[in-house]
Chain A
């Protein structure tokens, strides 16, 4: 008798704890103890998003991901960020994590859209 290997059921959801952890780690590795440097900031933002995306892809879940990072110099200026989405509330989700050190602010957001 052949045993059928059952595939995982369709009830796959985003594990927001795991994703927060991934984002946190990626921001800390790139930005801890750096001082604002306009020439390096391109590299920092690319690093953060690529690191996040790589770890997300490794989770091998049936999701499309959008990762956005905002890095801003601390000068006392205000920053507001908002989002809206036209999606399926039960399947899709967002995870947003702020980070700061003494010279930069950083907000990284991950949107996950479920694939059928």
Chain B
């Protein structure tokens, strides 16, 4: 997370006399994200819908498989959002898959954060057998 433009090198010795070089990063003291790197809800939502559609379109609900699909979707979405280049943002991705049996369901979330820098993005995709909800929360880390 630290800005790599400023770091110092230090050496440390372990018991056998070998030395390891460790990099100590200097903190950047940034209070706000650099311009152009703020978490953009619209961009993230578009990307998430794309990933969901690609993966979930033809999927059938199978109880054993779904656990893995859920985890894979999480990792895929997270990787895609990381590629969008929001520096210094901690990301939390949550994916919920439900079998579509006509039952009622409600998902709600609240956050205690800094509303100027932090944001969230949600995407839903449904086909005839299942409903998939994905949420990405991005929190700026000073």
Binding site for B on A (CB under 8 A): 36, 38, 41-42, 44-46, 48-50, 52-53, 56-57, 64-88, 92, 109, 111, 113, 115-116
Please determine whether B94 and A88 come into contact, CB atoms closer than 8 angstroms.
Answer: no
Could you tell me which residues of chain B, from 87 to 140, have a CB within 8 Å of some CB in chain A? Answer: 89-114, 118, 120, 135, 137, 139
Please determine whether B110 and A81 come into contact, CB atoms closer than 8 angstroms.
Answer: no
Of the A-B pairs whose beta carbons lie under 8 Å apart in the complex, a sample of 19, sorted by A's number, is A38-B104, A46-B108, A49-B110, A57-B112, A65-B113, A66-B111, A67-B109, A68-B94, A69-B109, A70-B96, A70-B105, A71-B107, A75-B102, A75-B103, A79-B96, A84-B93, A86-B89, A109-B94, A111-B137
* C-alpha gap A53/B75 in the complex (Å): 27
Q: Do A79 and B98 contact each other (CB < 8 Å), given the known contacts A49-B109, A84-B75? A: yes
Q: Do A87 and B70 contact each other (CB < 8 Å), given the known contacts A67-B109, A77-B101? A: no
- Residues from chain B with a CB closer than 8 A to the CB of A76 are 101
- Residues from chain B with a CB closer than 8 A to the CB of A48 are 108
B100 nearest in chain A by CB position: A77
* B118 partner, pick from A42, A64, A79, A84, beta carbons under 8 A: A64
* C-alpha gap A38/B124 in the complex (Å): 20
- Tell me the smallest distance from the CB of B36 to a CB of chain A, in Å: 19
* C-alpha gap A57/B74 in the complex (Å): 28
Please determine whether B93 and A85 come into contact, CB atoms closer than 8 angstroms.
Answer: yes
Q: Do A64 and B106 contact each other (CB < 8 Å), given the known contacts A79-B96, A84-B93? A: no
Please determine whether B66 and A53 come into contact, CB atoms closer than 8 angstroms.
Answer: no
Please determine whether B99 and A81 come into contact, CB atoms closer than 8 angstroms.
Answer: no
* A83 partner, pick from B66, B74, B98, B110, beta carbons under 8 A: B74
* C-alpha gap A107/B139 in the complex (Å): 23
* C-alpha gap A85/B89 in the complex (Å): 11
Please determine whether B105 and A67 come into contact, CB atoms closer than 8 angstroms.
Answer: no
- Residues from chain A with a CB closer than 8 A to the CB of B94 are 68, 81-83, 109
- Tell me the smallest distance from the CB of B122 to a CB of chain A, in Å: 11
A57 nearest in chain B by CB position: B112
A76 nearest in chain B by CB position: B101
Please determine whether A82 and B95 come into contact, CB atoms closer than 8 angstroms.
Answer: yes
Please determine whether B90 and A69 come into contact, CB atoms closer than 8 angstroms.
Answer: no
A78 nearest in chain B by CB position: B99
Please determine whether B112 and A78 come into contact, CB atoms closer than 8 angstroms.
Answer: no
